[in-house]
A and B are shown apart, each in its own frame.
Chain A
Amino acid sequence: MRIGLAIPCFIDAFHPEVGIATLELLERLGQDVTYPLSQTCCGQPMANNGCNGDAAGAEALFVRNFAEFDAVVMPSASCVHHIRAHLDAIPETPAVRHVRDRTYELVEFLHDVLQVDAFPWARFPHRVGLHNGCGALRALRTASMSELGEPFFSKPKALLEKVSGIEFVVPERADECCGFGGTFSVSEDAVSARMGHDKVWRHFQAGASYVVSADSSCMMHQQGCAERAKLKLKFVHIAEILNGRGA
């Protein structure tokens, strides 16, 4: 299986360590991973604002970059959701269909496709609050949703439980949105920041030293809030823990 690694634009720019951890982790698991150099963005920021026409160029470029791979793996749930559920600014050719059907978010890929049952190199002896971004939770269904009263399951937790030393704490309002929401974080910055502050405060009150998530965009926002509030809370992407950071 040839995997194309898609790195969201904000990870490329602000959190390269997440991309590095994702790549190294997949390589550690024996996967053939390629990073197409001419990738930029999946088109989500434009599409989420209704400017579908403006997303077409980015979407076409995404498909050109990734059509040749058997699977596309991306450490961002909202981007993956956009590719699977939308990506309709361009006509649906077989190549487009192929990419839409074979794009996975990292946690889903590790849990459902590779079905990894151990991370022997990984150790994270800390108390962590697990944050499931709303794209991961409600769009990609990587964990059970409180509104539906469904039996508990959590793919990210199932993976993290295999990391030695890790201890979970659960904040109040565990699946309330943290308020990032893409450009919402800027166009409704006051509400967004209030939501972010409330979220990090709840993690802190639950006793977390780290907040871990599969979504860097949420964490960028939460980290900004935590630092402004001078809360002693650190943020780490799930890829980094699973790849052995802190071991």
Chain B
Amino acid sequence: MSPSSDKSRVDHAGGAELFLERAEHLAFHDRRLWELREKRDQQMHGIPEFQELRELASAIKEHTLAKLPEYLEMFERNALANGIHVHWAQDGEEHNRIVLDILRSRNARTVVKSKSMVTEECDMRPWLQARQVEVLETDVGEQIQQFDDEMPSHIVVPAVHKLVRDVAKTFSQAYGTDDGERDVTQLVAAQRRGTRPVILRADAGMTGANFLVAETGAVVVCTNEGNADLSANVPALHIVSTGIEKLVPRAADLAVFIRLLSRSALGSPITQYTTQFRGPRDGGEMHVILVDNGRATRLGMVDFWRSLKCIRCGACMNTCPVYRRSGGLSYGGVYAGPIGAIIQPTFDPDKFSALPFASTLNGSCTNVCPVKIDIHDQLYKWRRIIAEKHYLPFVKREALRMAGRLMARPKLFRAAMKGGNAVLKGLPRFAIYNWLNPWGRHREVPAPPVETFHDWYLRNRKPQTRDRGQPDKGQPDQGDRR
């Protein structure tokens, strides 16, 4: 089911709970992604200039975003001079229309594509399929997700939430392989055998873009399987879908990102294929579609524009202890994990209002981000906006308002503490541990102590301070220095 058509609020906690019940899937998911984090760390230790590269990458991206219109025009100029057709799309619908127009004008009915998160944003595949265009994802992970009619759950390893047996089942339906197959090599071979003929007879190939180089008018695509290079070079028509923020100014800048991307994503020095498309192939045609889809608006958000630096490495997902235990699908949108939690609310702050709260604000994501996006600070800021716009669940909102009032009045607070503890002491176990008390579902509740610190202090020390519980008469309620 396409997520964009479902407007109801995403229940991350509910989705996570379902994921947590599948012990074997959870264990693999958590272990595998932590392993990618560890491999990233190993790469980092092998490059003394790693932190300098991060600083350079961040500065290059901020510079480029601050001059984005100029760099886009430069890219367009140079791409056109290279013989590439350049198109602009304000939103997903416009992007899909442009793709369809290009395909129809060349009588193209079958498309093979490699991974592009932008095309997921645009919900392109179902849109094209409804208009009699056959589209096959060729990337193994994306293809599995296509066959299962699910979004990719991770931007680099789209089917990481699945085990071999799930894939075997999917491929048995798609390719007629044995659903008891547990040899991954055989499944990969089956995918190769099944996909190659489709590539060979496809009318068009679509790819995404990892980077666009303004000074050369080049598109750079970083992949591992070879399907992007096949999809782009076998059919005579190559269409690139890209967000407008993918620009870097110079080839020299590109080097910084190439050195950081795969190290951050998978802990390998580089992807197996780092490809430059700077013009159509002999006998071929190349198009680039520059997609806005909310990016220009996001650029104007003082607290959130830096999320546009993202190079889609997924390192934040790999390190996030919440993401690893909830799975990407629980985020209910194109982008999951920490980056998803700060991007998705720009698409729909109500629908994705739970995402910035699916976090302990631990800050690990910010530390691994190769372009130094202040992810956990943005999560904090999103919470304020969501609270101010009244997207918080009613019960939570009211509880926090009451807590705020209580915390402002020491005498009330003390009374509540006394009352609370007394009640807690007197309750039988079944009353504490039930579905109404989320703390107690998976944990023991702390035993209330004999007395609070406050009471202990009153008994054991001579209180020295004046009562500052109320502002003094005639003084403003803001804590002036005496």
Contact = CB atoms under 8 A, between A and B. Distances in A.
Nearest to A150: B51
A49 B383 contact: yes
B20 A191 contact: yes
Contacts of B16: 188, 190-191
Contact of A13 (B386, B420, B439, B463): B420
Given A134-B361, A221-B443, A148 B482 contact: no
Contacts of B364: 134, 138, 147, 175-177
B410 A38 contact: yes
Binding site of B, secondary structure by majority: helix, strand, loop or mixed?
helix
A68 interface: yes
Interface string B1-23: 00000000000110011001000
A65 interface: yes
Contact of B453 (A12, A57, A176, A183): A12
Given A50-B387, A148-B51, A16 B367 contact: no
Given A41-B407, A57-B405, A224-B443, A16 B456 contact: yes
Interface stretch (B100-108, B280-288, B472-480): B472-480
A110 interface: no
Nearest to B444: A227
B400 interface: yes
A232 interface: no
A146 B41 CA distance: 8
Interface string B343-361: 0000000000000011111
A188 B407 contact: no
Nearest to B14: A190
Interface in A55-81: 55-58, 60-65, 67-68
Interface in A23-58: 23, 34-41, 43, 45-46, 48-58
Contact of B478 (A17, A93, A184, A193): A93
Contacts of A46: 400, 403-404, 407
B101 to A, nearest CB: 44
B468 A61 contact: yes
B479 A68 contact: no
B441 interface: yes
B476 to A, nearest CB: 9
A56 B477 CA distance: 10
Interface stretch (A163-171, A194-202, A239-247): A194-202
A149 B478 contact: no
A177 B44 contact: no
A194 B20 contact: yes
B451 interface: yes
Contacts of A13: 417, 420-421, 448-449, 452
A129 interface: no
Given A90-B478, A96-B479, A191-B13, A35 B457 contact: yes
B325 interface: yes
A56 B405 CA distance: 9
A166 B375 CA distance: 37
Contact of A49 (B44, B357, B477): B357
A62 B44 CA distance: 42
A188 B358 contact: yes
A223 B407 contact: no
Nearest to B383: A50
Interface residues of A, number: 89
A51 B465 CA distance: 30
Interface string B365-390: 01110000000000010111111100
Contacts of B467: 37-38
A64 B362 CA distance: 30
B363 A11 contact: no
B468 A147 contact: no
Contacts of B319: 147
B131 to A, nearest CB: 40
Contact of B392 (A49, A94, A96, A188): A49
Contacts of A99: 479
Contacts of B443: 193, 196, 221, 224-225, 227-228
B344 to A, nearest CB: 16
A235 B428 CA distance: 25
B50 interface: yes
A122 to B, nearest CB: 21
B68 to A, nearest CB: 29
Nearest to B414: A40
Contacts of A225: 442-443
Which residue, of B319, B420, B454, B461, has the highest number of chain A Cβ atoms within 10 A? B454
Given A14-B449, A34-B465, A50-B388, A181 B361 contact: yes
Interface string B406-440: 11111001000100110000000000000000110
Given A9-B407, A184-B357, A188-B357, A193 B442 contact: yes
Given A20-B453, A179-B360, A195-B321, A98 B367 contact: no
Given A134-B362, A188-B322, A190-B16, A65 B446 contact: no
B397 interface: yes
A104 to B, nearest CB: 19
B184 interface: no
B442 A197 contact: yes
Contacts of B44: 149
A179 B357 CA distance: 13
B59 interface: no
A136 B397 CA distance: 28
6 contacts: A41-B407, A58-B408, A61-B479, A187-B357, A223-B444, A223-B446
Given A43-B407, A61-B469, A145-B367, 20 more contacts: A13-B452, A16-B453, A16-B456, A37-B457, A41-B413, A46-B407, A51-B397, A51-B401, A60-B408, A67-B481, A90-B479, A93-B478, A177-B321, A182-B360, A187-B357, A189-B438, A190-B16, A191-B16, A194-B325, A224-B439
Question: Which 6 A-B pairs have CB atoms at the shortest separation, nearest pair first?
Answer: A57-B408, A181-B360, A54-B404, A224-B443, A63-B479, A50-B387
